[in-house]
Amino acid sequence: MLEGIDDIGWAGLEHAYGGAEDVPDMLRAACSPDPEGRERGFEDLASSLCHQGSVYAATVAAVPFLAELALHGPGGPLEPLWLLHGAADGHGPEYLECRRAVSEALPQLLGLARHADREVRRAVLWVIAACEDRSLPLLPLLRARWDEEEDDEVRADLLTALGLLEVTPTVREARSRKLLTEVVGPRTRRAAITDLLRTAPLPLPADLVDAAADAYGAAPDDETHHPWPDGRYRRLEERLLDDPEAALRAARRGMPLAWEITRAWRDREHEVLPLLTASVTGGDLCRIARVGAEVPGGGTAAWLVPFLVSPDPAERVVATYTAVRLRVPDALGLVLRLMEELPDETATLRTMPLSDEQVVPAAVEVFGEAAEPVAARVAACLRTEWVGVLRHFPHLAADRVDELVRLLPASAPVLGALGPAAGPRAARALLEGARRGDIPSALAHAKVTGDASAAVGLLRTALEGRSGEAVEAAGALGPGAAALLPALEPYLRRSTRESRASAATTIWRITGRTDDTAPVLARQIAASGAYHAPQLSALRTLTAMGTLPVEARPAVERIAHSPRRVVHDLFCDGSPSGDVAARAAARELLAVT
């Protein structure tokens, strides 16, 4: 094995970590009679040659040797086949060369399609499918194997590979349709339905949707990391989500699609919430809180009671937070009880995915002035974790200025909201905070005293250090930050759209200029397909300006009216989806322009 390995100029090739001169040693390790040595060799090869899906020039050169290992290696063919699949299915500048190299090695590997180990037979199919059109000459082999194969999992993979490679759609569809009328294994049936749904026109046929839900119940495999080419293959769940009515139909028949429906489509929360609460577990509460934030709410939630009285403090905190988002009767009473029974947990507990959201701020956000009893409890028992809610209740904060000063810098925004009423002691404390470099204290000092000089001095230094926080903070000063314009103007030419848009918003707040700031904000909105906080800020700023540049209008129309989500939050902390705020801002912008 590995004959000719030293004839290749490995040092002139690259893999994920640089020069590939170490690849021969990795390949030799993969040939080791010692199982642990082989394992290390294959781990190193996988990390270097197929790093997170990327392939390299060294990957191309290694393919013939990986094929040798699959045929003759002491550890068997499985791990080399996985690497060959990674090479054929990878991405990067060399992906076509990799695919060609693997397809050229395939003929010598075809005997493994009859290997005694079914996992080996499956891996060969994955490699064939990953080569896509280069594997078309192998269709007769796959058809022959279909007639011979008896294992349900291998037949399912065979059917998928045939479906992806078949050049005659009617032949492919007839094969899969016929299987639905026969007694076949559950995985083969699921593969047949997946194959049919992949190319079925929208809206998806109800009979196929029902069959898909039944097949999923019989074979609920996790396809999160499937081995098939992404450009052609569609997971069963993913395809159903292309049609919200089909996805809801399948969810009502037991498929776990309810949460994913709300992540993909707007205005489906009222249909999905009963599905989520029908068999709720503690881990579902944050999702229910997010969905509940977008429905009218206000009803009873008997299913929530066991979580509200749970002996687990974390579960009680998240359950109370969920009650707030659902606006259940006496939600504020539940918050007050939690503040009394579990003050430390209510203030500081972090439960994933409920990480930054807290019960007390959420109660004020959801109930507004009606949450004054909660704010009064905060004022009576000040904590750094709760103090921010008093910005919305300045009359409660005014009686606790001395205590608020002791909580600086956390209480700076609250003192700033009081303005001159905070008094000279607060002003002195805030000035000390500004001198120590605390930007919120500096901004609050300007509001309390009307003198922005301390804030301007601090922000000028921060801007020279390229601080994004300082750019946004300068905008909060408005015209009082005019002296910072020479330091801010260069940010309009920064490399990232987010930096330029943030600078444009700040400069407009200081000067009222729209000629050179509105176009920057418009480009920020128009250039990105995945909307998040910077785009939302740009939408709000253009709304305040009362202008909508032409280049941004198509994107704003999409954000305002798309039936699909345009903001896709990576994590769920129970707060409303960013898509809700984006749509509202886009609609407001269209209304004022």
pLDDT tens string 276-314: 999 898 888 989 999 999 998 888 899 999 999 999 888
Mean pLDDT of the chain: 93
Q: What is the pLDDT of residue 183?
A: 94
Mean of pLDDT values over 449-458: 96
Long-range contacts from 128-131, C-beta under 8 angstroms, 24+ separation: 128/161, 128/165, 129/160, 129/161, 129/164, 129/165, 129/227, 129/228, 129/229, 130/85, 130/88, 130/89, 130/99, 130/102, 130/227, 130/228, 130/229, 131/88, 131/99, 131/102, 131/103, 131/106
Q: What is the pLDDT of residue 371?
A: 97
Compute the distance between CA of residue 546 and CA of residue 591 in angstroms, rounded to an integer.
9
Buried b (16+ CB within 10 A) or exposed e, 178-191: ebeeeebbbbbbbb
For the segment 14-44, what is each residue's pLDDT rounded down to a tens digit?
999 999 999 999 999 999 999 999 999 999 9
Higher pLDDT, 1 or 482: 482
pLDDT bracket for residue 467 (50, 70, 90): confident
Q: What is the pLDDT of residue 346?
A: 75
For the segment 546-590, what is each residue's pLDDT rounded down to a tens digit?
999 999 999 999 999 999 998 888 788 888 888 999 999 999 999
Q: Looking up tokens 């992806």, which residue turns up?
A: 164
Q: What is the pLDDT of residue 171?
A: 93
For the segment 216-247, what is each residue's pLDDT rounded down to a tens digit?
999 987 777 789 998 889 999 999 999 999 99
pLDDT at 352 over 60: no
Compute the distance between CA of residue 4 and CA of residue 64 in angstroms, rounded to an integer.
10
pLDDT bracket for residue 135 (50, 70, 90): very high
pLDDT at 348 over 80: no
Q: What is the pLDDT of residue 534?
A: 58
pLDDT at 514 over 80: yes
Q: What is the pLDDT of residue 281?
A: 87
pLDDT at 57 over 90: yes
> In sequence order, which residues have a C-beta less than 8 Å from that of residue 52 and are 6 or more positions away?
none
Mean of pLDDT values over 330-353: 81
For the segment 152-164, what is each residue's pLDDT rounded down to a tens digit?
999 999 999 999 9
Whether the CA torsion 534, 537, 543, 544 is positive or negative: it is negative
Q: What is the pLDDT of residue 532?
A: 58
Q: What is the pLDDT of residue 51?
A: 95
Q: What is the percent of the chain where pLDDT is above 70?
A: 97
pLDDT bracket for residue 11 (50, 70, 90): very high
pLDDT at 355 over 70: no
Question: Which phi and psi (to 5°) does residue 150 adopt?
Answer: -115, -25
pLDDT bracket for residue 369 (50, 70, 90): very high
Mean of pLDDT values over 252-279: 94
What structural domains does the chain harbor? 5-264 (1.25.10), 514-593 (no CATH)
Compute the distance between CA of residue 180 and CA of residue 516 in angstroms, rounded to an integer.
62
